Amino acid sequence: MGLSVKEIYELTPAELFTALQIQDDQSEYEFRNMMEVARYISFHIWNSAGKGLKRQQSDPQKLLPLPWDKKKQREIQSPKDMLATMFGIARTHNKTENRKNKKK
């Protein structure tokens, strides 16, 4: 994460959660990139080895399907859930602002 122990202890739970979530997203992004590279390498190996056997594949996703190839249907949030989320964000923001004001 690139933070010292002291900096980690100074974070609020919400800030720590956000930092960990960002780090997790970055590692997932790197993993997906590596898997896409592996898919295209295997796609080209499969097609070059299969030229004489006529077993070529035209789509890398069909040769090596990955979990994120499937399209997710967006979940529609109810107005009540949206309001609860907005209040939660506002509450967290207010706590952070209050803490910053106390430090000054």
Confidence of residue 60 (pLDDT cuts 50, 70, 90): confident
Q: In the predicted model, what is the mean pLDDT of residues 40-66?
A: 80
For residues 96 and 81, which has the higher predicted lDDT (pLDDT)? 81
Q: Is the pLDDT of residue 99 over 70?
A: no
- What DSSP assignment string belongs to 15-51? HHHHHHHHHHHHHHHHHHHHHHHHHHHHHHHHHHHTT
Question: How many other CB atoms are found less than 10 A from the CB of residue 47?
Answer: 15
- pTM score: 0.54
Determine the residue type at 55.
R
What is the pLDDT, as a whole number, of residue 37?
92
Q: In the predicted model, what is the mean pLDDT of residues 70-99?
A: 78
CB 40 within 8 A of CB 63: no
For residues 57 and 42, which has the higher predicted lDDT (pLDDT)? 42
